Amino acid sequence: MFSSGQLLFALCFFVAFVVIIFLSYRKDKKRQGAYFKGSYKILISFLIALSLLFAIKYLTRP
């Protein structure tokens, strides 16, 4: 489906993207903490929903 080079690029891109987003979030949180209250709940909910989708996909395979 994908070549090993494409998978490696996707992995490197994902890691770099997450690091940049995390650093930006920390910098903004110091300045505007009121806007980020409870944001971890949204992240946890998103990860649970994504995990459920993957679980359903693999459990319903023929």
- What's the pTM value of the predicted model, to 2 decimals? 0.51
pLDDT interval class at 1 (50, 70, 90): confident
Residue type, 36: F
Domain residue ranges in the chain: 4-59
* b/e code 47-61 from CB counts within 10 Å (16+ = b): eeeeeeeeeeeeeee
pLDDT digits (tens, 9 = 90+) for 15-49: 999 999 999 888 887 777 677 778 889 989 999 99
